């Protein structure tokens, strides 16, 4: 089932974990280990409809983490873990069982926060493994990186990184989406928001002057930029057909329902900021607790997302390729250079 899965990409290790006492059903996927022999990626808890859906998610996410770490210049490979189940029903016992599962890989995999798993949850895991690192809430740094990525995208597509008067639709106004909205509001952007959380929408409207729109209507707003900041696969054939924006730049992982959509966006003249590049601020922060670098360096590397994306956009334009292919080329080049340096 693993080798024939649609998202299998020569992953180095895919491990299934089960604990009868707690009901834990989990998968850890290591796509590539980094030059120090370890990989990093959060633990996600979702009430998946099937094992196949969970496997596909962890395979896609782990592959994305490889490129995210590489393009960010981190000495880590890419991995991810998923727990099958309702996050509202998680228990300390289940989290400790997950921690023991992570520990069983002996440091090849470091885990952290993700959808359905909070910093407090990771702290529970860390009681049984040193390979669970919360690193605090990564959302503010993720939001900063997305903000810098939006400035780079407007520079490349619209000729200026001045966001005053730019119209941005944010799909998902959670911690990352709201943090992004705050940055945009400070620059005078006009913001449109959609979410299932009515309280978050009211807050955005009252504090930031955001326009609240229905979830189904966010994609066809007359805006310059769509910023997907919820779950993945929101950019699909249907939403692309609706959208009027010329830029997609948001904080969600796996925004494209499938990679072929990068070519569709290119043909439509829509500039896509590859998600694993623009949302790397969070993993940079978490890695600072693994490889021990300062908060100043975390911020500096996150601000560097601006230049990284400009370089990717320029490569895509020069070589007449998608921005997704340009990002992968950049990531692979950095990864090969790091591995070669480690081998010397």
CATH of residue 95: 3.40.50.10860
50 located within any domain: yes
Among residues 56, 37, 35, 36, the alpha carbon closest in space to that of 46 is found at 56
- Distance (Å, whole) CA 9 – CA 4: 10
Q: Is 54 helix (H, G, I), strand (E, B) or coil?
A: helix
Q: Which residues touch 80 (CB under 8 Å, ≥6 apart)?
A: 28, 29, 41, 42, 43, 44, 58, 61, 62, 65, 114
Q: Is 225 helix (H, G, I), strand (E, B) or coil?
A: strand
Among residues 49, 76, 57, 61, the alpha carbon closest in space to that of 338 is found at 76
205 located within any domain: yes
- Distance (Å, whole) CA 153 – CA 309: 8
Q: Which domain range does residue 103 map to?
A: 13-64+76-125
- Check if 80 is active-site: yes
**222 and 256 housed in the same domain:** yes
Q: What is the pLDDT of residue 344?
A: 65
Label residues 260-288 b or e (16+ Cβ within 10 Å = b): ebbebbbeeebbbbbbbbbbbbbbbbbbb
**113 and 155 housed in the same domain:** no
Q: Is 25 helix (H, G, I), strand (E, B) or coil?
A: strand
**203 and 313 housed in the same domain:** yes
Do 77 and 31 meet the contact criterion of CB atoms below 8 Å apart? yes
132 located within any domain: no
Identified catalytic residue from 33, 36, 68, 80: 80
From first to last of its 344 residues, the chain has per-residue pLDDT tens of 799 888 998 999 999 999 999 999 999 999 999 988 999 999 999 999 999 999 999 999 999 899 999 999 888 899 999 999 999 999 999 999 999 999 999 999 999 998 899 989 999 999 999 999 987 788 999 999 999 999 999 999 999 999 999 999 999 999 999 999 999 999 999 999 999 999 999 999 999 999 999 998 999 999 999 999 998 889 999 999 999 999 999 999 889 999 999 999 999 999 999 999 999 999 999 888 888 888 999 999 999 999 999 999 999 999 999 999 999 999 988 888 877 777 76
CATH of residue 191: 3.40.50.720
User: Is pTM, for the whole model, over 0.85?
Assistant: yes
344 located within any domain: no
């Amino acid at each position: 089932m693993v080798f024939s899965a649609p998202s299998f990409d020569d992953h180095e290790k895919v491990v299934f974990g089960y604990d009868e006492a707690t009901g834990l059903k989990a998968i850890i996927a290591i796509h590539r280990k980094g030059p120090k022999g370890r990989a990093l990626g959060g633990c996600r808890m979702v009430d998946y409809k099937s094992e196949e859906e969970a496997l596909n998610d962890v395979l896609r996410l782990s592959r994305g983490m490889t490129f995210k770490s590489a393009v960010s210049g981190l000495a880590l490979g890419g991995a991810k873990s998923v727990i099958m189940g309702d996050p509202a029903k998680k228990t300390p016992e289940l989290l400790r069982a997950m921690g023991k599962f992570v520990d069983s890989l002996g440091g090849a995999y470091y885990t952290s926060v993700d959808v359905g798993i909070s910093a407090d949850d990771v702290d529970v895991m860390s009681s049984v493994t040193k390979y669970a690192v919360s690193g605090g809430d990564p959302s503010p740094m993720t939001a900063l990186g997305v903000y810098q990525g939006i400035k780079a995208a407007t520079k490349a597509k619209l000729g200026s990184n001045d966001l005053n008067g730019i119209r941005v639709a944010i799909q998902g106004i959670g911690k990352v989406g709201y943090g992004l909205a705050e940055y945009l509001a400070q620059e005078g952007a006009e913001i449109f928001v959609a979410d299932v959380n009515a309280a978050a929408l009211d807050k955005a409207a009252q504090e930031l002057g955001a326009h609240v729109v229905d979830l189904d209507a966010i994609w066809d707003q007359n805006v310059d930029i769509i910023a997907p900041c919820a779950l993945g696969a929101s950019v699909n054939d249907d939403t692309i057909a609706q959208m009027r924006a010329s830029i997609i730049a948001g904080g969600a992982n796996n925004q494209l329902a499938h990679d072929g959509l990068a070519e569709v966006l290119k043909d439509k003249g829509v500039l896509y900021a590859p998600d694993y590049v623009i949302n790397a601020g969070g993993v940079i922060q978490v890695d600072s607790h693994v490889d021990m670098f300062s908060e100043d360096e975390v911020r500096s590397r996150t601000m560097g997302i601006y230049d990284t994306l400009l370089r990717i956009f320029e490569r895509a334009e020069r070589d007449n390729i998608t921005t997704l292919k340009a990002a992968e080329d950049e990531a692979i080049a950095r990864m090969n250079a790091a591995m070669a340096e480690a081998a010397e």
